[in-house]
Amino acid sequence: MAAGADVTGWKTGDAVTFDSTVYCGQCYFCRHGQINLCDHRRVLGVSCEAYRQHGAMADYVAVPQHILYRLPAGLGFERAAMVEALSVAFHSVQRTPLALDSTAVVMGTGMIGLLIVQVLRYAGCRRIIAVDLDARRLELARQLGADQVLKSDADDVIAEVMRATDQRGADAAFEVVGIRQR
């Protein structure tokens, strides 16, 4: 590890993590606090053409100091590696109006989906329904707090969600797959 010549406030050996979005801090969106929309953004580990940046699967990675966050003492790197992913889950649940009697559907039980299941449980959501194609992921979702799991190639997801909610439908749904429907 090393700090660049103009780095202030950080020194070699500091335990840090970083926001994967490298933003400029100058453009319209940055000045309005919407750094995720920065005109000049690069996102580490994201490969779409608009903001491609090599990821951190490397021995060393260089990032600007303004995206660093200091890790609390005692937090191991293995856990710290989950901070960004867990932040995505927290943020998405925090933006969603939920009540204690809410039913939420989580479409997709990859890492982010499983984290959302856990955050929903933590937030007090009454019923969590997880949906995926992979039975092993669904079993994990159940262990981590999902009340009901649906296998989307075997169950009639819409009918089951309607049944579970007295035909009202879910109060909230999280799309955590990220692929276009064909």
* Residues near Zn ion (CB under 5 A): 23-24, 27, 30, 38
Q: Which structure tokens are listed for 22?
A: 């490298």
The helix-helix angle for 111-123 and 83-94 (nearest 10°) equals: 50
Biggest CA–CA distance in the chain, Å, is 63
**Sheet with strand 172-175: strands edge to edge:** 148-151, 127-132, 103-107, 172-175
**Of the two residues 41 and 127, which places its CB atom closer to Zn ion in the complex?**
41
**Of the two residues 30 and 105, which places its CB atom closer to Zn ion in the complex?**
30
**Of the two residues 37 and 86, which places its CB atom closer to Zn ion in the complex?**
37
**Of the two residues 36 and 94, which places its CB atom closer to Zn ion in the complex?**
36
Shortest spacing between CB 28 and Zn ion, in angstroms:
8
Shortest spacing between CB 39 and Zn ion, in angstroms:
5
Tell me how far apart the alpha carbons of residues 17 and 46 are, in angstroms, rounded to a whole number: 17
Shortest spacing between CB 66 and Zn ion, in angstroms:
11
**Of the two residues 14 and 39, which places its CB atom closer to Zn ion in the complex?**
39
